[in-house]
Homo-oligomer: A and B are copies of this chain.
């Protein structure tokens, strides 16, 4: 059993995998005659392939019990996928670099600060939403369209990274 260390999520650490959607330390622009501020384009939505477009969904994720072994990693080759939490609760983001195979030694785990959302770039390997602290609701922005946009990678039992708190 391989223990996977969990680090705080920062835009710098997550840069090769996608975007961190947060207001902290980001530039904003006034809008609505000064009554609002926009933190613009924190994530760019990727939609490739036929009849592709971005859609907005909501997702309810149940609380996972600890310790938890990561069995499955997936990727969406035709589009990015963003999750922004509607509850002020952290969740765990597990990602791996682009490549045809998953190298378990290259997986990285990050803990959000409760308000951060993330956007996986197209093709980035990632674990399914992992919510060990509470049931959570998310806004999801991803691709709808033709073609196969979900590939799964089952990790061999003796290689599965374990997360614990």
Q: What is A's interface to B at a CB cutoff of 8 Å?
A: 19, 21-23, 28, 31-33, 35-47, 53-62, 64, 72, 82, 84, 86, 115, 117, 119, 128-129, 137, 139-141, 144
Copies in the complex: 2
Main secondary structure of the interface of A (DSSP, over half): strand
Whole-angstrom CA separation of A56 from B61 in the bound complex: 21
Looking at A36, A41, A56, A72, the one whose CB has the most chain B CB atoms below 10 A away is A56
* A38 surroundings in chain B (CB, below 8 A): 57-59, 140
Whole-angstrom CA separation of A42 from B138 in the bound complex: 13
A-B contacts besides A38-B58, A39-B57, A45-B54, 4 pairs, CB < 8 Å:
A32-B61, A38-B57, A41-B144, A42-B55
Shortest Cβ gap from A60 to chain B (Å)? 5
| Cβ B129 vs Cβ A21 within 8 A | no
| Cβ B47 vs Cβ A137 within 8 A | no
Closest to A26 in B: B58
5 A–B contact pairs at CB < 8 A? A19-B56, A31-B59, A38-B57, A38-B140, A45-B55
- The answer to whether A58 and B22 touch (CB under 8 A), given A53-B44, A53-B45, is yes
Whole-angstrom CA separation of A61 from B33 in the bound complex: 11
Whole-angstrom CA separation of A43 from B35 in the bound complex: 26
Closest to A137 in B: B23
- The answer to whether A35 and B128 touch (CB under 8 A), given A45-B54, A53-B44, is yes
- The answer to whether A54 and B57 touch (CB under 8 A), given A128-B36, A129-B36, is no
| Cβ B56 vs Cβ A45 within 8 A | yes
